[in-house]
Structure formats: C-alpha cells, structure tokens
Chain A
C-alpha cells in the first residue's frame, strides 16, 4: 500500500485534509490568482504588485527559519502546497499525483515528472511496436527508487562543465526545488530558470510557456512532448525503425534537452556521438540526446513518438522504476557505487528505455 493510497483511504484524514485544503486555498491562493503551479502564487505579473500579499506566504523578514528569509526549510516549504498533505496546489510532486480541479478536486492522474517519494509510472509494463510506444500510468503510487535531490545536501552534478581530457565527473552543488524552479515566477514553462544556480551555465536556455491549457498529468510516460508542442516539421520516410512520420516540435521538446544540459553539460550529445569520441575522459562516447522533436502521426497511422532527448528516457522529479542485476551494478560516472536499485530517473525498469527504440 502506498502513502498516497493510505492518504485517500482514511476518512478522518480526508476530513482533516478537506478542512486544511479549504483554509489553505483561501489563505494562500487568494481570489484573483490562477491555481496552476507555474502560475498560482508564482505568477509573473505584467508589473509588480506594489502591495503584494503573497510575499508573506513564504518569507519572514525577522523570524525566518531558513536562509533567504524563508518561513521554513525550502523543501518543506514547497511541500506545504505541493506535498502529500498540502492542498494549496493541485500538483502533489511528493507523491507524483495531480488533480484537474483546484484544491485537489476532480480527477487525479499521474504527474508527468514522476514524484520525489512515490511515482505512478507503470515502469514494468512498457510496450513498443512500430505503431506506438506506451509506458502506462499506475493508479497506485510506488516508492521512488531515484529522484533529483531537493533537500539541499551536497550532490554531484554529473557531467557539469566543459569537455575535459582529465577525469572530471562533474561539480558539487546543493540542489533544492528553487535550483530549477523560480518561485517568484518568470513566465517560463514550469517556471524553469534559464540558468539554474550552481549549474555554471554561461548561456541561458529559456523554455517559454506557450498559450493554452497547462497539462501536468499523463496516461503515457513515453509520450513526453508537451500538449502545446504541436508544430509540424519535416517528414521522414519509413525505415527499419518504423513507418514514415512527421516531426512534431514546440517550446518544450525543442528546448528541454538544452535546458537539462545547463547542469549536465556533457550529457548533451549530437548524432554520431556513439562512435565519435568527445575527447572527454569520462563522457567519451555518448548516446545522442539533442533531438528537438518527437515523431508525430503519419499517413500510416500513429508512430512511436520517441526520439533521443534527455526527457525521453528520464523523468524530472523521481521514478519508481526497478533495476535488475546488470542495471543495478552500473557505477556512477566517477566509479563510485550507485545507490542500491537506483533507477537514475529512468521511465522503464532496467534498460527498458533502450528497448523502446532498439528492441534487441
């Protein structure tokens, strides 16, 4: 049984949750703020609200309990709304669940980014045919086996920095929710920072937030493009990898690999990197990861949407995928032993993400 299931299964907890939800929504969101996460209290207004109330939602000028005058430690503060018990947002990133109604009402679904503690990825049930790839969503959360750290402890940013002929696995940094997301709002997709702090990136990558409905949940973890990624590109003839298809791109899929690489610099690899040495002592030969489109439908019917991109294989927050003997034995880039069963944010068990395209 998962934490998410337990939460929904207790009537006392449900009543308490509804009470807290009502209070929190009223206090936190106010009457004129959209309820979406990359809007909500994090919205970027056309001009500053000179009598803004929402500063007090997170900050204390004189009695702060955490750096940057935060009312509490950053992860816990974010989870006030986005956690298991929070109701200030309809995205529970801790358990990987999203609701279609404000205040966590309406239908619940699986968050596209997975979850930090639990996730709803049916990672052992992927299917792939030339017709369509699919990684279903679970209805009950499973414990995450890997996640991006958000607790502020020192982590290695694997691949951070330029190509190096001497071994350099990456740099150390303290990762928190705010490392990637700008809580004050910046108008970008998922309020992603163009230059995540400590990433060392010199060039910014802005993933713009397009008009249209924001969809945070998914029923197919292999279909990674955003719902607003609907720009059609060139067509490609049928090949051994499947039928003909037309490229589909957009703000998200067109920029997310570059954005991930503001931190994981040397993971961004062009076509041919599997046989052309980068010259780096650690990241020597690499799978390509820079495709800016996915496959779209063709006259032959829908095609497997996957193309080599960071987000095609990995989720952003956390994954419940499980790893077998070979996969678990893969060391970290510096040669250190990876956490037991660490799934590296992969969307499918073991190396199922390889099989989605290669089908060996």
Chain B
C-alpha cells in the first residue's frame, strides 16, 4: 500500500481514529526512543554519545543474547528489523525508507514529504518531468519535482542480504575483466546502527567494500531528510556531503570515480575503460549523487535505456539504475542534445 492510500484510509475513519493513531504513535515513540534520545534517524537510538552509556537500554531494541533469530544476535532479519521503525508500518522513526516518505514531526506527524534518497519499495520522484536543462556541462539550478503519491520503484540498492555484484569494486584491472566483488548488501552495510557521528551514520568503510582508507562525511548541523527538488542534491546543512559523497560511493564502486580526463583517456581497465567524470564537489556538477539516488528510484526506462546491460553483459531488464530521471534525462540536464 502506498503512503497516500494509507493516509486516505485514516481520513475515512474520522477524527477520533486519527487522534487515536497519533496518540499511539506518540506513545510508541516515547516507549521506543526513551526520554533522553534524540528523535532524528541518524541520531535517535543510533546516536553516538560522548562516552558509552554503561547501562544502555537500547541494546535490547535490536539484539538478543541467547534467542537471536538472525546473525549478529539480531532479534530478526536485518531488513525487517530496520523496517520495524523505518518501514511502512513502523512509527519509531519519521523516515519511512520503504516508501520514500519523511515527516517533519516526530512519530510521523506534521507534513509528509519526499525522502532525498528515494525509497526501496516506492519513491516520490517525478522523474518524467524534469526542467531547467542547460547545455553548460554543469547545471546547478535544474528541477526534478516530487510526486504526491508514491510510484513503484524500478531499481534499488539491495538490502536483503542476498549476494550482489558491487559493480566496479576493486582496482584497475587489465587484461583480466573484473566487474566487481560479490557482496551481501544490507542496511548495515552502509549505515552504522550503533552510531558513529557521521552524516546519515554512514560507515567510513562500508562492509565488504575492501576500501582502504575509508571516507568520513561530517554530520549535518540541521538534518533535513526530505526534498522538493530531486536535482538539488547538495545538502546546505552539511558542507562535507557534496565534497565527499562521490569518494564515499567509490569505497564500493571504486572504478566509477573518475576525473576530468576520463572520458577521453583510457583508464586501462578492461571493463571500465572510458568513464564520465564523477568527482566534482558542487551542485549540478558531475558527481555520483547528482545522477543517482541512494535507496531506490521510480524512474522508468525506454527501449534503449532498458536495453543497457550490466557491466558484465548480463541483462539488466528495465532497471533504472537508481537514476533520478526517466531514460537518460540525467544526461540532458547538462548536455541538452537534440
């Protein structure tokens, strides 16, 4: 069910039901977060304290010492555990990453808006209606609107622990074709649930990335999880974000990080030979995050875009490769070719 449908259902039940639901949500938040815990997602129960709380209660929120049903002593499968708070039905966090929706108030109260990272099941990217394209090789002022109702995603980063290829992982390889390492990607591969004080609790070295050294992105002063324009990717509250996010993405997708000469200079890699630049730290500039969202996109692909295989030649289907715009609209935001 999409968020819109759920909200309509509440309205249909009348004011008393809404008050009851809100009350339950507030109680749930109070019970779940405790009295001394900040309500933000990269804080909340995941906050990094100045020193460890030696009688911490929150361990028990996720772990069981003797009766765990998932590895690392988790009380349930990692994705389901995260969705307890961050999923469609969860109320412990105001970020519903499953449906790509964030709320301005704790307990999912206030205004619902589109999450910057998209969503794993639904996303609110109006990927068919970008505007403000320019032929300037960088375009800081374009617009990709948001949807009022979630659309089913067409590509996501995997979070279910199944084996995936981390495309481009590893160093330049020739003549051997090396597409990337096989990893088991979960929420905790990128995010540190124990808190590390970093932007979105991103791990400096994502699990199984093999990166040395890692990339640390300093946390935002004010945390804004939602957007009204998916082309505006810079986080004005965190200067370290746009300056470091491409390097961070490349801790896994190593060979996707490319400089200004990479379009015309062979990297020497047997697979990732010539590459679009991706290392500019500025809004509207070539950067991983300028074209791709982190969680999932609802962009749709046409005949050509849908036919692009994976780097190893396997069929990718109509997957949108986490792109922010339908087809190759992200190219047109800067290149605007006829």
A interface with B by C-beta (< 8 Å): 123-124, 126-128, 158-159, 266-267, 269, 274-277, 282-287, 289, 313, 323-327, 329-330, 333, 348-352, 354-356, 359-360
Q: How many residues of B contact A (CB 8 A)?
A: 27
B68 at the interface (CB under 8 A from A): yes
A-side contacts of B60, CB under 8 Å: 326-327, 329-330, 350-351
B175 at the interface (CB under 8 A from A): no
- Asked whether, in the complex, the Cβ of B67 is within 8 Å of the Cβ of A283, the reply is yes
Partner of B71, one of A123, A275, A287: A275
In angstroms, Cα B48 to Cα A269, docked, is 30
- Asked whether, in the complex, the Cβ of B32 is within 8 Å of the Cβ of A325, the reply is yes
Q: How many whole Å from A12's CB to the nearest CB in chain B?
A: 39
Q: Which residue of B lies closest to A359 (CB)?
A: B52
Interface centre among B60, B69, B72, B73 (most CB of A within 10 A): B60
Interface residues of B in 21-72 (CB under 8 A from A): 31-32, 34, 52-61, 63-72
A-side contacts of B55, CB under 8 Å: 123-124, 126, 348-352, 355
Q: Supply 6 A–B pairs (Cβ within 8 Å), ascending by A.
A: A159-B66, A274-B73, A282-B67, A326-B60, A352-B54, A356-B54
The 3 closest A-B pairs by CB, nearest first: A324-B57, A351-B59, A350-B57
- Asked whether, in the complex, the Cβ of A267 is within 8 Å of the Cβ of B66, the reply is yes
In angstroms, Cα B71 to Cα A266, docked, is 16
Q: How many whole Å from B65's CB to the nearest CB in chain A?
A: 4
A-side contacts of B277, CB under 8 Å: none
Other than the given A284-B68, A286-B68, A324-B34, 13 more pairs (CB < 8 A) read A267-B66, A274-B72, A285-B69, A326-B34, A330-B60, A348-B54, A350-B56, A350-B60, A351-B59, A352-B56, A355-B55, A359-B52, A360-B194
- Asked whether, in the complex, the Cβ of A354 is within 8 Å of the Cβ of B71, the reply is no
Partner of A326, one of B57, B65, B74, B194: B57
In angstroms, Cα B34 to Cα A350, docked, is 12
- Asked whether, in the complex, the Cβ of B32 is within 8 Å of the Cβ of A287, the reply is no
In angstroms, Cα B59 to Cα A276, docked, is 20
A-side contacts of B59, CB under 8 Å: 326-327, 350-351, 354-355, 360
A-side contacts of B52, CB under 8 Å: 128, 355, 359-360
- Asked whether, in the complex, the Cβ of B67 is within 8 Å of the Cβ of A333, the reply is yes
Q: How many whole Å from B63's CB to the nearest CB in chain A?
A: 7
B-side contacts of A348, CB under 8 Å: 54-55
- Asked whether, in the complex, the Cβ of A327 is within 8 Å of the Cβ of B67, the reply is no
Interface residues of B in 75-105 (CB under 8 A from A): none
With contacts A285-B73, A355-B52 known, is A325 near B66, CB below 8 A?
no
Q: Which residue of B lies closest to A354 (CB)?
A: B59
A-side contacts of B58, CB under 8 Å: 326, 351
A-side contacts of B68, CB under 8 Å: 274, 284-286
In angstroms, Cα B74 to Cα A329, docked, is 15
Q: Which residue of B lies closest to A123 (CB)?
A: B55
In angstroms, Cα B66 to Cα A159, docked, is 9
- Asked whether, in the complex, the Cβ of A325 is within 8 Å of the Cβ of B53, the reply is no
> Interface digits, B197-227 against A, CB 8 Å rule (1 contact, 0 not)?
0000000000000000000000000000000
Q: How many whole Å from A353's CB to the nearest CB in chain B?
A: 9
- Asked whether, in the complex, the Cβ of A286 is within 8 Å of the Cβ of B65, the reply is yes
In angstroms, Cα B335 to Cα A253, docked, is 71
A-side contacts of B70, CB under 8 Å: 284-285
- Asked whether, in the complex, the Cβ of A323 is within 8 Å of the Cβ of B57, the reply is yes
- Asked whether, in the complex, the Cβ of B31 is within 8 Å of the Cβ of A325, the reply is yes
Partner of B57, one of A123, A126, A282, A327: A327
- Asked whether, in the complex, the Cβ of B56 is within 8 Å of the Cβ of A284, the reply is no
- Asked whether, in the complex, the Cβ of B57 is within 8 Å of the Cβ of A360, the reply is no
- Asked whether, in the complex, the Cβ of B73 is within 8 Å of the Cβ of A355, the reply is no
